[in-house]
A and B are shown apart, each in its own frame.
Chain A
Amino acid sequence: MQTVKIVVTGPFNAGKTAFIGAISEIEVVSTERRITDHSESTKEETTVAMDFGRITVDDGLVLYLFGTPGQRRFDFMWEILSEGMLGFIVLVDSVAPETFHEAKEILDLFKNYSPACYVVAANKQDLEDAWPPGDLGIALKIDSDVKVVPCVARDKESVKRVLLELLYSILETAEE
């Protein structure tokens, strides 16, 4: 059996913990803490170390999903969690264009950590004001060979599609 490490990253409030929670077959190891400074956000809880979930694709393949914290003061965890990853997903909040710049910076940092494959997931597509994935890809100046996948992180089927897109990218790169 092969195990593959995949990292789920992206800015604060992009939906990383929800993404892993929607698909994991084990109870997610999460490290959410109550936010003390409410001037930063109206969100109740934030990840301070990592999330960990697991999903069995078939008899031969198990994915280990590691979610990162989104806030920059936890950036030391980004590098720690990126060790040994085969691919990563950058989750972007499609209704929060003010976070796109941060998303791009996180993406570039992760590319620096490792030459691993990645996809961009345009999350919160169920919300009315969501940027379409295509526009979001242009705004973030995503390379044309990288997939920008629509996503609703609370929906298991949607999360599955994002993971499959990443797995296809990994396989394509392996064949080249």
Chain B
Amino acid sequence: MEKPRTQLMLERLRALQATAPGIEASAVVSVDGLIMASALPAEVEEDRVSAMSAAMLSIGERIAGELGRGTLQQVYIRGENGYVILSSIGEEAVLTVMARAKAKLGLVFLDMSRAARDLGAILLKT
């Protein structure tokens, strides 16, 4: 029997975190802000992360469109202690990643885009 989609997504998120050591946490969120799969530390409230991801992505899309930057690919937030990076997965979902301040961003972006592609394929399965 095939594994449920949540399980497949979770495994893909764990694989992402194993490949890119700079990535501390990750989640897949629906565009209306509900969690689909998450590999987040226990102290992170996943409901808030998911809602904030959806809000941020939607604002990013509007800004990119309004200012003639085309379809949004990524939202990138840099804080003193690290990064939060959001990538859309098709039209239905968002990949949210939290990375350490010292993470190698080039690798993080590359691994994220691969993960987003795979996660998109998992989501398309019915």
Residues of A at the B interface (CB closer than 8 Å) are: 29, 31, 33-37, 46, 48-50, 69, 71, 73-74, 76-77
* CB neighbours of B32 from chain A (8 A): 33-37, 46, 48
A-B CB contacts (within 8 Å), total count = 54
Asked if A31 and B55 sit within 8 Å, CB to CB, the answer is yes
Closest to B92 in A: A36
Say if the beta carbon of B54 comes within 8 Å of chain A.
yes
* CB neighbours of A74 from chain B (8 A): 33, 51, 55
> In the complex, what distance in Å separates the CA atom of A52 from the CA atom of B28?
27
Asked if B34 and A36 sit within 8 Å, CB to CB, the answer is yes
Which residues of B42-94 have CB atoms within 8 Å of chain A's CB atoms? 47-48, 50-52, 54-56, 58-59, 62, 66, 92
Say if the beta carbon of B30 comes within 8 Å of chain A.
yes
> In the complex, what distance in Å separates the CA atom of A50 from the CA atom of B56?
10
Asked if A33 and B54 sit within 8 Å, CB to CB, the answer is yes
* CB neighbours of A71 from chain B (8 A): 33, 51
> In the complex, what distance in Å separates the CA atom of A33 from the CA atom of B55?
10
Say if the beta carbon of B31 comes within 8 Å of chain A.
yes
Closest to A75 in B: B51
> In the complex, what distance in Å separates the CA atom of A69 from the CA atom of B51?
11
B48 contacts which of A37, A46, A69, A76 (Cβ < 8 Å)?
A76
24 A-B pairs in the complex with CB atoms less than 8 angstroms apart: A29-B62, A29-B66, A31-B55, A31-B59, A31-B62, A33-B33, A33-B54, A36-B30, A36-B32, A36-B34, A36-B92, A48-B33, A48-B51, A48-B54, A48-B55, A48-B58, A49-B56, A49-B59, A69-B55, A73-B34, A73-B48, A74-B33, A76-B52, A77-B55
